[in-house]
Chain A
Amino acid sequence: DGGITQSPKYLFRKEGQNVTLSCEQNLNHDAMYWYRQDPGQGLRLIYYSQIVNDFQKGDIAEGYSVSREKKESFPLTVTSAQKNPTAFYLCASSKKRGSTEAFFGQGTRLTVV
Chain B
Amino acid sequence: AQKITQTQPGMFVQEKEAVTLDCTYDTSDQSYGLFWYKQPSSGEMIFLIYQGSYDEQNATEGRYSLNFQKARKSANLVISASQLGDSAMYFCAMREGGGGGSNYKLTFGKGTLLTVNP
Our count of residue pairs bridging A and B at CB distance below 8 angstroms stands at 58
Asked if A35 is an interface residue, CB under 8 A from chain B, the answer is yes
From DSSP, what is the main secondary structure of chain A's interface residues? strand
Chain A contact patch, size range: 20 to 34
Q: How far is the CA of A96 from the CA of B33 in the complex (A)?
A: 12
Q: How far is the CA of A9 from the CA of B44 in the complex (A)?
A: 12
Which residue of A is nearest B35, CB measured?
A101
Asked if A25 is an interface residue, CB under 8 A from chain B, the answer is no
Asked if A28 is an interface residue, CB under 8 A from chain B, the answer is no
Interface residues of A (CB under 8 A from B): 31, 33, 35, 40-45, 48, 50, 56, 58-59, 88, 90, 92, 94, 96, 99-104, 106-107
Cβ contacts A to B, 29 pairs, < 8 Å: A31-B106, A33-B106, A41-B110, A42-B6, A42-B91, A42-B110, A43-B91, A43-B93, A43-B108, A45-B107, A48-B103, A48-B104, A56-B103, A58-B105, A92-B106, A94-B95, A94-B104, A94-B106, A96-B104, A99-B33, A99-B50, A99-B52, A100-B50, A101-B47, A102-B106, A104-B44, A104-B45, A106-B43, A106-B44
Interface residues of B (CB under 8 A from A): 6, 9, 33, 35, 43-45, 47, 50, 52, 91, 93, 95, 103-111
